[in-house]
A and B are shown apart, each in its own frame.
Chain A
Amino acid sequence: MKVAEINSDLESVDDPKWDQISSQKITLTPIPLDGQPNSYIKLAWKDRPYGLTATANLAVARNKSNLFTRLEWNLPTQSHYRDSAGVSSESNQGMDGRTFHTEFLDGVGIFFPLSTKTPTGDRQYDSPPTTIGTRDEPVRLWRWQDRLAVQADLPAIKEVLATGPGVFRPFSSQLSQPHIQAEETNNLKATSLYEQAKWTVVISAELDNLSVPNKMGLVIWNGSNDERAGIAAVCSSWIDLDN
């Protein structure tokens, strides 16, 4: 898809300039059960639907120094808000009677292949996006979680090193893996809006330390369905970015 060239910032979800940037409908699929990182998760979810988000709209723009990504997806029920004591301020129980911290936060992530080395030179990244990275072919994941900043006073968005579905580590952990050559992203930000049963999230980052990606992946967690880690919907093929 085309990365729009702009001359200003586009960090706000409701900036009217987004209306002039074409978006693309991305088809999502549940991350395969076989690819989940351990036998516990495979057994716990073998008879339970997940990855319920079927599509999302994606728009990407850049200026001289920043990359801006807007994601929109429909979701009938927002994950419930809880304060630091884990108490819901909206209702006592979830949709099906489960309460409080059985609930998980809505979330979205975009990820990019990382350059890696082999003993004979650069590695050509060839894993599908549905793995969200592998040990040999990790990805850079920008992960946003609804209301994490309110509930836990933590950054709503953070950058992690992903080497599998839910196998997320602090990005700094790549320093111990010499085959990976990547620097942390600067000025990673997110803004979000849940309105009329639809999420809109804008993720922005400086391009200084980020080689302009030529493809990206997309993963969405539906908190009301207890989706977290590798229990999520992911794009079934890489999204090519035309810079």
Chain B
Amino acid sequence: MTEINERELSTTTTLVQDDQTATQGQVAMVFDLNKCMGCQTCSIACKVLWTREPGEEHHWWMTVNTQPGQGTPKGWEEMGGGWQDNHPNPGHQPTRTEFGGGWEFNYDEVFYGGKGRSVHLHPKDKGDGTTEWGMNWDEDQGAGEYPNAYYFYLPRLCNHCKYPVCVTACPSGAMYKRQEDGAVLRDENICQGSRFCMEACPYKKIYFNYARNVAQHCIMCFPRLEVGVAPACARQCPGRLVFVGPSNDSSGPIHRLVHEWEVALPLHPEFGTEPNIFYIPPLAPYRLNEDMSIDFETPRIPPEYLESLFGPRVHSAIATLQGELETVRAGGSSELLDTLIVFHWNDLFGPYTTDPSTLDRRPEIVAQGVPVDIDTSRKTRANTQETGG
């Protein structure tokens, strides 16, 4: 933390300063990867709420990918962006082909064209490569060799970073970090579609909307947060693995998982943006020896691979989790494991436990054909971006 603050302050041309990122509140999320089954319910919950309009066909603000894998957009971890050596690190703008998806299917041919017995339903190939990749293309491929193959699922969304380099890169000042919850948002009335944010974001979770000529990304379901409803990806999760809440609530599970037990880690901390989305790293079954006996000594998921995703702190996090498991297996109790089990569903959501069906007007209704008026949230933006001039 201190190191990054010094870096920020030493960069006189850097626009994101501490005072800009010092929001009154910061909502954070923790995803327990040991409970994620890759069902994509979170992805669908987000899709049906926010990205059903023309121009958003290929948008998946929430995705779940199999790891190891190339993810979405294809090969995103190698596309640059973030902070490096005290400066923004120029990155690659993902292409439409690298995102893939957003397909049109040959419904007419199969269902109405009399070819239902001879032609399969398939995406229409427009010759642009978009049918050769998609948001979950390499599902369950993973890595390793039988009988020790391994994979796990990694849900990803905008990290609503403390130091959002996308905000720095935006020339028009359309992007900002909101005061009350730290959500990184964009005023679409100001966005010029210049897409520097897409280059700068190291997580590549920003999409371009061709129909509106603006970039778009996860808005942390801020209309839901404002009325006490958890984000759709969290509330809809059947595995009950997504914690939501203020990061500074010392009595809440997020603070304890991140700062006390230190088992919840950000993805690719080396990107330097300080995400507010954290992950409980995955454990895995024991390896099998050639004679099919159990190898209790060698982790099936290589520790170096986990370190490449979550940084060196992943080793102590795994050790803590395994230690707590041993305690319970020996007949003891574990407050950490009790927290991760989530005996009561609403314990996941901190102050955001309101059932949306009890509201007179569902908060996300504004998404049904009418763009969210993000401008109304600007009155509480953390600070006005210095945009030169």
Determine whether the beta carbon of B194 is less than 8 Å from that of A37.
Answer: no
| B residues near A207, Cβ cutoff 8 Å | none
Q: Are B95 and A99 in contact (CB under 8 A)?
A: yes
Scan residues 80-114 of chain A and give those whose CB is less than 8 A from a CB of chain B.
82-88, 92, 98-102, 104
CB within 8 Å of A: which B65-90 residues: 87-90
B353 at the binding interface (Cβ < 8 Å)? no
- Shortest Cβ distance from residue B370 to the other chain A in the assembled complex, whole angstroms: 16
| Residues of B close to A169: CB separation below 8 A | 172-173, 190
Complex CA gap A92/B125 in Å reads 12
When each residue 140-179 of chain A gets 1 if its CB lies under 8 Å from chain B and 0 otherwise, what string results? 0000000010011110000000011111111001000000
- A135 closest partner in B (C-beta): B389
A59 to chain B, nearest CB (A): 28
Complexed CA–CA distance, A41 and B171 (Å): 8
The winner among B89, B128, B190, B200 for most chain A CB atoms within 10 A is B128
Is A39 close to B, CB under 8 A? yes
Q: Are B127 and A229 in contact (CB under 8 A)?
A: no
What does DSSP make chain A's interface, helix, strand, loop or mixed?
loop
B95 & A164 in contact (Cβ 8 Å cutoff): no
Q: Are A44 and B212 in contact (CB under 8 A)?
A: no
Within the complex, which residue of A36, A98, A167 is in contact with B173, where a contact is CB–CB below 8 Å? A167
Contact A164 B389 (CB under 8 A): yes
Q: Is B243 an interface residue (CB 8 A)?
A: no
CB-based contact B208/A228 at 8 Å: no
Minimum Cβ distance to chain B for residue A176 (Å):
11
Q: Indicate the member of B58, B102, B173, B199 with the most A CB atoms within 10 Å.
A: B173
Of the candidates A37, A42, A101, the one whose C-beta lies within 8 Å of that of B210 is: A101
Closest B residue to A88 by CB, please name it.
Answer: B128
Given contacts A38-B15, A40-B196, A135-B389, contact A167 B93 (CB under 8 A): no
* Interface contact A152-B90, CB-CB below 8 Å: no
Q: In the complex, which of the residues A101, A154, A168 contacts B95, with contact meaning CB atoms closer than 8 Å?
A: A101
Determine whether the beta carbon of A87 is less than 8 Å from that of B169: no
Interface contact B210-A86, CB-CB below 8 Å: yes
- Chain B contacts of A69 at CB under 8 A? none
Asked whether A128 is an interface residue with its Cβ less than 8 Å from the other chain, the reply is no
B388 surroundings in chain A (CB, below 8 A): 35-38, 164-165, 167
Interface 0/1 of B339-383, CB less than 8 Å to A: 000000000000000000000000000000000000000000000
Contact status B13-A39, CB under 8 Å: yes
**CB-based contact B196/A170 at 8 Å:** no
**B208 and A37 contact, CB distance less than 8 A:** no
Against A, the Cβ 8 Å flags (1 = close, 0 = not) of B172-186 are 110000000000000
Known: A41-B171, A43-B88, A167-B387. A84 touches B192 (CB 8 A): no
Q: Is A200 among interface residues, defined by CB-CB distance under 8 A?
A: no
* Residue numbers in B under 8 Å from A84 (CB-CB): 54-55, 210-211
Q: Is A131 engaged at the interface, CB distance under 8 Å to the other chain?
A: yes
Chain A interface extent, by class: 35 or more
**A37 contacts B171, C-beta separation under 8 Å:** yes
Distance, CA A84 to CA B387, complexed state (A): 30
Asked if B213 is an interface residue, CB under 8 A from chain A, the answer is yes
A23 at the interface (CB under 8 A from B): no
Answer whether residue B129 sits at the interface, using C-beta atoms and an 8 A cutoff. Answer: yes
Q: Smallest CB-CB separation from A138: which chain B residue?
A: B389
- With A38-B168, A131-B389, A228-B192 as contacts: A152 and B55 at CB distance below 8 Å: yes
CB of A30 closer than 8 Å to a CB of B: no
Q: Are A167 and B171 in contact (CB under 8 A)?
A: yes
Flag B1-12 by CB within 8 Å of A: 1 or 0 each. Answer: 000000000010
The reply to whether the CB of A236 lies closer than 8 angstroms to some CB of chain B is: no
Tell whether, in the assembled complex, residue A154 and residue B387 are in contact, meaning their CB atoms are under 8 Å apart.
no
Q: B96 an interface residue at 8 Å Cβ cutoff?
A: yes
Instruction: List B contacts of A191 (CB < 8 A).
Output: none
Task: Given A92-B128, A152-B211, verify A102-B169 contact (CB < 8 Å).
Answer: no
B371 vs chain A, min Cβ distance (A): 13
| A134 interface hit (Cβ, 8 Å) | yes
The complex places the Cα of A104 from the Cα of B55 at a distance, in Å, of 16
The residue in chain A whose Cβ has the minimal distance to the Cβ of B91 is A44
The answer, among B57, B88, B192, for a CB contact under 8 Å with A166, is B192
| A48 closest partner in B (C-beta) | B90
A167 to B11, CA, bound (A): 21
Within residues 15 to 46 of chain A, which ones have a CB less than 8 A from any CB in chain B? 35-44
Q: A38-B171, A86-B208 are in contact. Are A170 and B190 (CB under 8 A)?
A: yes
Does B117 make an interface contact (CB < 8 A)? no
Q: Can you report 29 A-B residue pairs in the complex whose CB atoms are below 8 A from each other?
A: A36-B171, A38-B13, A38-B388, A39-B14, A39-B88, A40-B169, A40-B196, A40-B199, A41-B169, A85-B104, A88-B128, A92-B127, A99-B97, A100-B96, A101-B95, A101-B96, A104-B195, A131-B389, A152-B213, A163-B389, A164-B387, A165-B389, A166-B192, A168-B172, A168-B192, A169-B190, A228-B193, A229-B172, A229-B192
Q: Which 5 A-B pairs have the closest CB atoms?
A: A164-B389, A166-B171, A40-B169, A100-B96, A37-B388
Contacts A99-B95, A165-B389, A167-B172 given; 17 further ones with Cβ under 8 A? A35-B388, A38-B388, A40-B199, A41-B171, A44-B196, A87-B96, A87-B130, A101-B208, A104-B195, A134-B389, A152-B212, A163-B389, A164-B389, A165-B171, A167-B388, A169-B172, A173-B190
Residues of A bordering B, CB below 8 Å: 35-44, 82-88, 92, 98-102, 104, 131, 133-135, 148, 151-154, 163-170, 173, 228-230
